[in-house]
Amino acid sequence: MLHYVPLIAFSFPNVLAPIVAILHQVLGAIHQVIGNYGWSLIALALLVKLVFWPLNAMQYKSLIATQAIQPRLKALQAKHKNDKAMLSQEQMALYKETGVNPFASCLPLVAQMPILFSLYQAISGNKDEYAKEGWLWIGTPLSHLVPSHVLATSLAVPDYVLLIAYVVSMYFTVKLTSPAVDEATAQQQRIMSFISPVMVGYMGWKFAWPSALIIYWLAFNLFGLAQQLYLMKRHPRLATAVTASVTPAVAAPKAAAAKAAGNVRTGGSRNARRRSSRR
């Protein structure tokens, strides 16, 4: 989604204008207190993350529950592969039975998209303000000595070191926020954990994303990782409990098969002992 940010941000300027104006005012107010746009963007990322904390917590729980019923969903797809109507009906029944909302995990992302697009427009439309400031190594004498854009000379121009850091953070974000319950899903997610960051890194280089924007995204990712680790620590048994409650149709056949196999082995051992005693 991030590689479409420039296109979407400038395709709907009138729709995003109110949000752009609000973000500009909020950033200006934070900047008056902190005195630097780099740290102000980090503060804004923290503020947005805190505002959306309840939605993100709900997303985490919904994601685990959705992943947990994947075996049952695949079983239904195999059973009704030639009957789309029945498959849809059975899937809805499964969601109702387990209390899983397949769209709940998408809600935080959808809710935060307008802020993402508007921030891109707010920064790109006011580059003169960001061109006057630096952050950490950005704008230092060292940044003027290295090749162009390797280190940014201001918050208005790209910084490839910062972009690489963001790509790495995105890799861990994808890995941590996409639990898998079977090998097929795990393989798909391993591929996506590489493809998505590489694609975003390429688009950041191609569209010359200003370092100010990358600072916000990097901070937002790091705060998101911290939140995810906190939720995993606070609810260590959530995934196990949800899996046990929503996958009875998968667990039961496996247990039955194991029991049957045990009965066969036990019966075979008894027969062997009887034949031995007769001899």
What are 150-155's contacts with CB under 8 Å, separation 24+? 152/211, 154/130, 154/211, 155/37, 155/38, 155/130, 155/131, 155/210, 155/211, 155/212, 155/215
33: in domain: yes
Q: Residue 180 in contact with residue 167, Cβ under 8 Å?
A: no
Q: What pLDDT, on a 0 to 100 scale, did the predictor assign at position 24?
A: 83
In the predicted structure, residue 242 carries a pLDDT above the cut 70: no
Rg (CA), the chain: 26
204: in domain: yes
Q: What pLDDT, on a 0 to 100 scale, did the predictor assign at position 132?
A: 86
DSSP string, 35-102: --HHHHHHHHHHHHHHHTHHHHHHHHHHHHHHHHTHHHHHHHHHHTTT-HHHHHHHHHHHHHHHT--T
70: in domain: yes
206: in domain: yes
69: in domain: yes
Please report, for residues 112, 177, 185, 221, the alpha-carbon distance to residue 108 in angstroms, rounded to integers and kept in the order given: 6, 13, 22, 14
Residue whose entry in the numeric block shows the structure tokens 């923290």: 46
Mean pLDDT of 229-240: 66
In the predicted structure, residue 170 carries a pLDDT above the cut 80: yes
14: in domain: yes
Mean pLDDT of 146-169: 87
Reported as a pLDDT band with limits 50, 70 and 90, residue 178 is low
Q: What pLDDT, on a 0 to 100 scale, did the predictor assign at position 46?
A: 93
In the predicted structure, residue 123 carries a pLDDT above the cut 90: no
Q: What pLDDT, on a 0 to 100 scale, did the predictor assign at position 202?
A: 84
Residue whose entry in the numeric block shows the structure tokens 């994947």: 70
Reported as a pLDDT band with limits 50, 70 and 90, residue 252 is very low
73: in domain: yes
**Which range marks the domain in which residue 26 is found?**
2-247
In the predicted structure, residue 198 carries a pLDDT above the cut 60: yes
- What is the DSSP-derived secondary structure letter of residue 125? T
Mean pLDDT of 32-38: 90
Asked which of 5-9, 19-23, 136-140, 156-160 is least confident by mean pLDDT, the reply is 5-9
End-to-end CA distance of the chain: 75
The count of domains in the chain is 1
263: in domain: no
